[in-house]
Amino acid sequence: MVMFKPVAATSFQDLVYDQLSDALMTGAFWPGEALNINDLAAQFGTSIMPVRDAVRRLAAERALLVEPQKGVRVWRPTKSEFAEITHVRTLLEGDVTAAAVAHLTDKHIRDVARAIDEMNEHEVFRSERFLVLNKQIFFTLYEAAQRPATLPIIQSLWRQIGPIVRLYSLVEAFPPTVETSLAFVEALRRRDAETAREIRIKQILRPSEILMSRFDEIMEYRNDSPRQLAHVKPIASELLDGKTRRPGRPRSAR
């Protein structure tokens, strides 16, 4: 009988992928932004191999674009592609929001309400914290919905849409929608699935329509200056936190 050695539940590749995925979903990058694999490896505290593996996986999901002789860039959709993603999101996220209502606990709703209260502060809306809270709110619902086949599709769409959502803060005509947010929380408290679905669809459509009206202008924004990503946590610290038991120490990027 073939004997296999136990392997770590989480590999370096998975840890890097998870962090890059989260960074994309929460708008840490701009559409079309150039990424340097060596710089990312240095921030993660790994060799370049786990980063390359994560980049390949994200490129297969159309979240990143790998171009020969040009390197890696964040995927930048056309106007029609953005419209298509928005349409699919309304169908899937509206449905999953409605499905989640029956499974929500009081704690789920309190967590959503607290995050929405923080989001509706003007200063937060203009910061990266807004996008982190945005993901926290809706994936609290989506993960509660018990839709294991649909959840990965929504996650993949968010990896594509996250950098574009960051551009919403550039649109002065798009303020936080306090009234809609309060109505959303109230629908969750009443366990009103259909109203929650309708509000979630409006939450997706309204900013998307505003962005579509100025799509070409806004998508020309560029910010390729080198920076330290707040989302990136050195993989060594993940090991010390006990999230994986992979033996050995990560190598520094060459």
The CATH number given to whatever domain includes residue 39 is 1.10.10.10
How high is the pLDDT of residue 13? 85
Residues of the chain with pLDDT under 50: 1-9, 173, 223-230, 236-254
Place of tokens 């298509």: 84
What is the distance between the alpha carbons of residues 242 and 157, in angstroms, rounded to a whole number? 30
Instruction: Identify whether residues 119 and 86 lie together within a single domain.
Output: yes
Query: Cα dihedral angle (48, 51, 56, 62), rounded to 10 degrees?
Result: -140
Which H or E element spans position 235?
Answer: helix 235-240
Contacts for 120 with CB less than 8 Å, ≥ 6 apart: 176, 178, 181
What is the distance between the alpha carbons of residues 150 and 75, in angstroms, rounded to a whole number? 22
Instruction: Identify whether residues 43 and 139 lie together within a single domain.
Output: no
How high is the pLDDT of residue 227? 47
Q: State how many domains the chain has.
A: 2
How high is the pLDDT of residue 35? 94
Instruction: Identify whether residues 138 and 62 lie together within a single domain.
Output: no
pTM for this one? 0.81
**Inside any domain, residue 44:** yes
> Of 42, 76, 110, which one is at a domain's C-terminal end?
76
What would the pLDDT profile of 28-51 be if each residue is shown by its tens digit? Answer: 898 999 999 999 988 888 889 999
Instruction: Identify whether residues 60 and 146 lie together within a single domain.
Output: no
Q: How far is CA 172 from CA 38, 126, 162, 240, in A?
A: 36, 10, 19, 43
Instruction: Identify whether residues 29 and 115 lie together within a single domain.
Output: no
The CATH number given to whatever domain includes residue 208 is 1.20.120.530
Instruction: Identify whether residues 131 and 167 lie together within a single domain.
Output: yes
Instruction: Identify whether residues 70 and 98 lie together within a single domain.
Output: no
Instruction: Identify whether residues 207 and 84 lie together within a single domain.
Output: yes
Report the 10 Å Cβ neighbour count for 74.
23
Place of tokens 């809609």: 180
Instruction: Identify whether residues 64 and 98 lie together within a single domain.
Output: no
Instruction: Identify whether residues 34 and 159 lie together within a single domain.
Output: no
What is the distance between the alpha carbons of residues 60 and 55, in angstroms, rounded to a whole number? 9
How high is the pLDDT of residue 248? 38
Instruction: Identify whether residues 144 and 199 lie together within a single domain.
Output: yes
Strand partners of residue 72: 35, 66
- Domain range for 143: 79-217
95 and 149 Cβ atoms separated by less than 8 Å: no
Instruction: Identify whether residues 103 and 188 lie together within a single domain.
Output: yes
How high is the pLDDT of residue 101? 97
